[in-house]
Amino acid sequence: MKNEEIVLVIGSSGEIGKATVQALAEQSNRRFILHYSKNSHVIDELVEILHDDQVLMSVQADLTQPDEIYSLIDLTPFDVDTIVFAQGQALSQTFIKLDEQTMDALYNVHVKATTLITQAFLASMVKKQEGNIVVISSIWGEEGASFEVWYSMMKSAQINFVKSLAKEMGPSGIKVNGVTPGFINTKMNQALTDEEIGYWIEDVPLSRLGEASEVANCVKFLCSSQSSYVNGHILKVNGGIS
């Protein structure tokens, strides 16, 4: 790759997104475009943590809204070498009560945003004959989850997007891979009671929750030269559940 690597991280303000930026920033030639929906203070923290010249820009966009997806693309004036999709919006609800507006919002965040943003930056990757795309999906995209039917469906779509696009773009030197975290110690899961957390941990052979940094380290590997022959792979980070 060229000396400077421009990395677009979608969902930089989430715990896994932030950890991913920090892990990738250990390679000093990387320059970042940091997307966030809310929690702008996390972006401020990243700007403080990273080297002065490592953050090219930050851009706010609510990816549940299609017009803001297009706005993000239009506001990004750089050719991108690496894209990491760390955005997500969980939902726990019975399927029978799920309304169409919520369906559309989750579809936009997980599927429409991922596909449109990828499509927007692929041409420059093809021209250079190199690039990296990593999609952070979920174990539920592989296994399915009751009360998270639509979320599981959207995450499954991401997984099949990775596998299909990897085959299409491989001849152009572009790697496309995915990561499927299991039960990770983030705010998304902090609404659960200790009893509920204990119930989930019983199914984890390593007998503990995962950490955001452990997911980030897997993304770091997939974005490195050490994974130069890894393409179309879904890397499970779940403590051995499946």
Catalytic residues: 151
Would you call 197 helix, strand, or coil by DSSP? helix
DSSP-derived secondary structure letter, 110? I
Question: Comparing C-alpha atoms, which of 133, 131, 8 is closest to residue 72?
Answer: 8
Angle (CA) 223-229-233 rounded to 5° is 70
User: Measured between alpha carbons, how far is 78 from 99 in angstroms, rounded to an integer?
Assistant: 38
Give the pair of three-digit tokens for residue 176. Answer: 């496309």
Place of tokens 């894209």: 83
Alpha-helical runs (H) found in 170-222: 194-201, 212-222
